[in-house]
Amino acid sequence: MSVLDLAPVVPVVVIEDASDAVPLARALVAGGLPAIEVTLRTPAALDAVRAIAREVPEAVVGTGTVVTPEQVTASVAAGARFLVSPGWTDVLLEAMRASGVPFLPGVSTVSEVVALLERGVREMKFFPAQAAGGTAYLKSLAGPLPQARFCPTGGIGAANAPEYLSLPNVGCVGGTWMLPADATTARDWARVEELARAAAGLRDLRDAGGTCR
């Protein structure tokens, strides 16, 4: 499984209350976004992953903000089907590789990309995307490093996602714009589904970009 090919957008989800996990995941999946990244930023995160893995089988749930080998182990035990990190070290990379599930280590420099390619990793998270140079930076990488594919995350919304998805080395983007705070606080899952459907509609733009395989 390549996480980059599941959907044009991977929702980056911060869950404060694990009881929200299942209805939120169902809304995202119904809207056409099956890959869901639950960030390990709250005490409820792993319980949320367990609930989604158990009750929403059509979702492909993973964890984000993975920064230690212990979090890798806990994530997989909870049912995570992919892992995303904001950066990487050799220790963290080996733990993710040994987990047996797909992973996206974070990069923001050319040297980091080259180092991962040396280690046989071709799919990566580009973070923080906007602050690290945005689409102009990714365009400049496509020529010398066409074998690297990215999921840019950080500062990406509905307005600029199409520009990222049109790049040949971008498989998908990560974002939160389909999860506005007022909708999630009110548990307005119908609105989340509607926004997810609009984000899923960006698939045509991604496919037209000639994404590297």
Number of H helices, E strands in the chain: 10, 9
The catalytically annotated residue of 123, 125, 163, 193 is 125
Amino acid identity at 130: Q
First to last CA, the chain: 13
Catalytic residue flag (residue 58): no
- Yes or no: say if 28 and 192 are a contact pair by the CB < 8 Å rule: yes
CA distance 24 to 183: 10
Q: Which among 37, 123, 163, 193 is annotated as catalytic?
A: 37
> How do the residues of the chain divide into helix, strand and coil, expressed in percent and rounded to 5?
45, 15, 40
Strands 149-152 and 106-107: unpaired
DSSP codes of every residue in 88-106:
--HHHHHHHHHTSS-EE-E
The whole-angstrom separation of Cα 68 and Cα 91 is: 8
Query: How many residues make up the chain in this entry?
Result: 213
CA atoms within 13 A on the CB side of 6: 24
Q: Is 139 labeled as catalytic in the residue annotation?
A: no
Instruction: Return the active site residues.
Output: 37, 125
